[in-house]
Chains A and B, each alone.
Chain A
Amino acid sequence: MMDLRELYQDIILDHGRRPRNFRKIEHPTHFAHGHNPLCGDRVTVFLTLDGDRIADVSFQGRGCAISTAAASLMTEVLKGKTIGEARALFAQFHARVTGGEPSELPKPLAEEAERLEPLTGVKAYPARVKCATLSWHALEAALKGGSSGETVKTE
């Protein structure tokens, strides 16, 4: 059996305990809720877009160490990115945690994507993949739905 510390790397445990950008944005331009019916976990992702660029991003919610760390790391890599870049990062991350074929990213973005590497341990634990992607699905819903505050389910 795989060492559990490959799933729960130090960076995951750290972000799980002390999530970054764990706050509400009072007047977001975009926000959405993510819900994982399997475990009842909920996350809300808030965005402030300045034109095409993510000026601020934050989250709130209650979840396991993986989902909390995933949301925290997501907010860190997304700040200052364009919508297109955010979607490219999600596509690449999704492929890496589900064992798909990750697309090539341009150099600076590829370096950002590397920061999500500690989360890819979930691919050995199929039941936990959704924990890692929940906040990203909420991000996607926020980008689509704007300020309507939709709820997206992982299944």
Chain B
Amino acid sequence: MMTASAPILPSPVSGGGIGRGFDPRQLRREFPIFANNPDLVFLDSAASAQKPRAVIDRMADYYRTDYANVHRGVYRLSARSTELFEEARDKVRRFLNAADRREIVFVRNTTEAINLVAQSWGPASLKPGDEVLISVLEHHSNIVPWQLLRDRIGIRLVVAPLDATGGLNLGEFEARLSPRTRLVAITQVANGTGAVVPVEVVVKLSHRMGAKVLIDGSQAAPRMPVDVQALGCDFYALTGHKVYGPTGIGALYGRYDLLAAMPPWQGGGEMILHVTFDKTEYQDPPHRFEAGTPDIAGAIGLGAALDFIEEVGRDNILEHEEALTGYGVDRLSRIVGLRLLGAGQRRLGILSFDLEGVHPHDVAQVLDQQQVAVRAGHHCAQPLMAWFDLSGTTRASLGAYNDERDIDRLVAAVEAAQEMFGR
């Protein structure tokens, strides 16, 4: 096993960045991508975050020194590999403050986590006429699985609208909750606008009506502390590659009593206790939901990413991203002809905008010329774009490694785009 690495930040540093005790410039040195692309302004972490050396090295080390399949071999190498894999599960449990390690199911990504709930919990718990309540803020991955379930078993999909400021309209949300609402599936931070949903309130209102709550934590998990016990949610989904971990690995938190009552959703190795041609006995959670050889190195890399985040400090990251989001809103708002999409009372880490008369792809093309990497288009949230009467936007999204200079470069590049396409 690898020994613990040197501290990422030798001591709390002040003065370099805008968050207290946090220096994004120093943090940036932990990400080899920036050394290899010195002029890169990376503002697309909402799509996928860059990887720190600690994650890259951990995965390579694991393959070099500890690799074998898990939960199989009697030989020591396999036992060690299993130990590391299960240790990663413990890290996810800690990261979410789940009560029990068996409540953490490894999946490929958030999309798979939500599909797991839709395909396993859904048919076992819902009957025709039951309702699943989502919001206009959702990513396609928290819309389409419910539409598939609707078409399969005849549930109803209900959508809560936004208020005039672009935040979830809590009054309208509450009005759509009814005894028929069996599940509320909602994002914590909207990937299309950065709107932060007050999920504590959503959970309380939903539970009062007897509905379960699934939270899509894709954008929240990398940006704010998450405590599933304090939230009281029933399911929480996150993806590894947005929390500075590798692609191909994510996690679903599910309350143990719920997971224990859910049938398997995929069959194969790993998820069984005993198989005959007549009958198969299934494992208990979480292994019941982890058919086949898992992404072992991915899970270990995810564990390293969560260690990294903890070491930097989740409060530090939140404080930094909030300050930088505020700075970005301030700078972008001053550009005449730029319309920042509303995000309600609270916005975090995502700045989505429409530049009058300039198509988002043309904006992104000019930005790319200036080495500013952003996402252009509908961000897999077409209903949200339609809510704002747009087919797409230009979206700048933050990571812990961004600082004011990145925002300044963004603003300069946006102005260059305006100049080029101005009438």
Contacts and interface: CB of A to CB of B under 8 A. Distances in A.
B108 interface: no
B68 to A, nearest CB: 41
Interface stretch (A21-29, A33-41, A140-148): A33-41
Given A13-B421, A17-B423, A64 B359 contact: yes
Interface of A: 1, 4, 7-8, 13, 16-17, 38-41, 62-66, 125, 128, 131
Contact of A125 (B365, B377, B382, B385): B365
Nearest to A5: B420
Given A1-B369, A131-B361, A40 B421 contact: no
Given A16-B421, A39-B376, A7 B391 contact: no
Contacts of B356: none
B371 to A, nearest CB: 9
B408 interface: no
Interface string B37-71: 00000000000000000000000000000000000
Interface in B359-397: 359-362, 365-366, 369, 376-378, 382, 385, 391-392
Interface residues of B, number: 19
Given A39-B392, A40-B377, A62-B391, A13 B365 contact: no
Contact of A64 (B362, B382, B423): B362
A13 B361 contact: no
A38 B378 CA distance: 9
Given A39-B376, A40-B382, A4 B361 contact: no
Q: Which of B357, B369, B382, B392 has the most A CB atoms < 10 Å from its CB?
A: B369
A58 B376 CA distance: 28
Nearest to B416: A4
Top 5 A-B residue pairs of the complex, sorted by shortest distance between their CB atoms: A64-B359, A40-B391, A64-B361, A4-B369, A65-B362
Nearest to B392: A40
Given A39-B361, A125-B365, A8 B392 contact: no
Contacts of B366: 4
A16 B421 CA distance: 9
Contacts of B421: 8, 13, 16-17, 65
A138 to B, nearest CB: 17
B377 A38 contact: yes
A7 B360 CA distance: 16
Contacts of B392: 39-40
A63 B359 contact: yes
Contacts of B357: 17
A40 B378 contact: yes
A13 B417 CA distance: 12
Contact of A66 (B362, B369, B376, B423): B362
B391 A128 contact: no
A128 B423 contact: no
Contacts of A1: 369
Given A8-B420, A8-B421, A65-B421, 18 more contacts: A4-B365, A8-B362, A13-B421, A17-B421, A17-B423, A39-B360, A39-B361, A39-B377, A39-B391, A40-B378, A40-B385, A40-B391, A41-B391, A64-B359, A64-B360, A64-B361, A64-B362, A125-B365
